[in-house]
């Protein structure tokens, strides 16, 4: 079973660690980042600068 740590992130990554892994987000708010990962989106929400929620939107985007 693959874990977040297998992808180069700790089990409770900081916002800086997430951005180092995925680059600059395509959208951000005070406590959220959204990244494009291929045709998918990955949105992360933070609490005290640590990931608390991950939402993945999988599928092709409209062109």
pLDDT (tens digit per residue) in 20-50: 999 999 999 999 999 998 888 999 999 999 9
On whether the CB atoms of residues 35 and 19 are closer than 8 A, the answer is no
Q: How far apart are CA 50 and CA 20, in angstroms?
A: 14
Q: Sorting pLDDT into bands at 50, 70 and 90, what band is 10?
A: confident
pTM tops 0.75, yes or no: yes
| Residue 35: closest CA among 18, 14, 10 | 18
Domain boundaries, given as residue ranges, for the chain: 4-57
Other CB atoms within 10 A of residue 44 CB:
21
pLDDT digits (tens, 9 = 90+) for 12-22: 899 999 999 99
The closest of 35, 38, 39, 40 to 9, measured between CA atoms, is 35
Instruction: Output Rg (C-alpha) for the chain, integer angstroms.
Output: 12
């Amino acid at each position: 079973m693959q874990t977040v740590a297998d992808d180069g992130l700790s089990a409770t990554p900081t916002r800086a660690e997430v951005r180092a892994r995925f680059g600059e987000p395509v959208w951000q708010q005070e406590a959220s980042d959204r990244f494009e990962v291929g045709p998918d989106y990955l949105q992360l929400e933070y609490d005290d600068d640590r990931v608390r929620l991950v939402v993945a939107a999988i599928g092709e985007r409209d062109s």
